Amino acid sequence: MTKIPGLHHVTAISGPPQANVDFYAGTLKQRLVKKTVNFDAPDTYHLYYGDPAGSPGTILTFFPFAEAGPGRAGPGMASAYAYAIPKGDFDAMIDELSAGDSFPAAPVTRFGQRVLTLRDPDGAPVELVETEGATDRHGFHSVTLWERDPDPTARLLTEAFGYEVLGTERSPGGERLRLKAPGNDRANIIDIWRADNPTVPRPGKGTIHHIAFRAKTQEDQHHWQEALLKFGHRTTPVIDRQYFNAIYFREPGGVLFEIATDPPGFAVDEPVETMGSQLMLPPQHERLRARIEATLPKLKLPA
């Protein structure tokens, strides 16, 4: 039986792109894997960060809208993404961040793991989780979904996707339910958060647009289209996103879910060694390159 192995990527909304690059490629030392455009709005960048190879489970992407107003996470949204930090590297990373401009708060303990929360330039929470077995700082540990009622979302994740419930934990402000995908792939944790007090969500910079689960093959993705229909969720048709194929649907609580294929990957249009150094455009926008390059602000990668 096909099961979801974990996350493929997370896509968020930011403000001005240079500040975004400075934080994620500079402060957090993620690789800028791909510098392209929003396929539906090519006058805006689409920036991809990840490990040196652009592996599934490490990819965080941004639509940087310079004029976007501040957003606010709330029910029906993914509210945080977390990186898995090797156990022996966690304290060193705190020291590095404290010596810079991040000024992290003291770590807290969550499900027996230390968690450090940073804020990116747009105020988005970026969690660093001390993780046994993590081998680098690039892979995701988890994503948090903020739900009014966790049960329908938990049923989808367990009954359709094959996740298992690891437990619940009470913390100030609400309750967290933790689920884990089968196997030992990275990015295999989903937390569902239910807050004690109501909050009105507002999309904008500093919020997550959608999360994407992995389909290791195109055949697996077709399986999920059929399986989800049986669970009452009609997905979009398969959409070619150049570096993966994608299908989308809304889960019961309202979060936009995507299922993205591993192939063809981010080296399909440029060598791995130089990924992220040049503006890459999909074929349908290549004829507009001169206008697009004149419109987009120049970006400088941190040394």
**Segment 285-293 long-range contacts (CB within 8 Å, at least 24 positions apart):** 285/37, 285/39, 285/42, 288/42, 292/37, 292/42, 292/43
Q: What is the mean pLDDT of residues 24-43?
A: 95
The rounded distance, in Å, linking the Cα atoms of 127 and 107 is 10
For the chain, give the number of residues: 303
Q: What is the mean pLDDT of residues 131-135?
A: 94
Report whether 243 contacts 197 (CB < 8 A).
no
pLDDT tens for each residue of 175-231? 999 999 999 999 999 999 999 998 899 999 999 999 999 999 999 999 999 999 999
Share the mean pLDDT of the chain.
95
**Phi, psi values for residue 95, rounded to 5°:** -65, -40
Query: Domains of the chain: which residue ranges?
Result: 7-295
Report whether 255 contacts 75 (CB < 8 A).
no
Q: Positive or negative CA dihedral for 205, 206, 210, 216?
A: positive
The rounded distance, in Å, linking the Cα atoms of 169 and 208 is 23
Report whether 176 contacts 149 (CB < 8 A).
no
Q: Just give the CATH number of 7-295.
A: 3.10.180.10
pLDDT tens for each residue of 260-269? 999 999 999 9
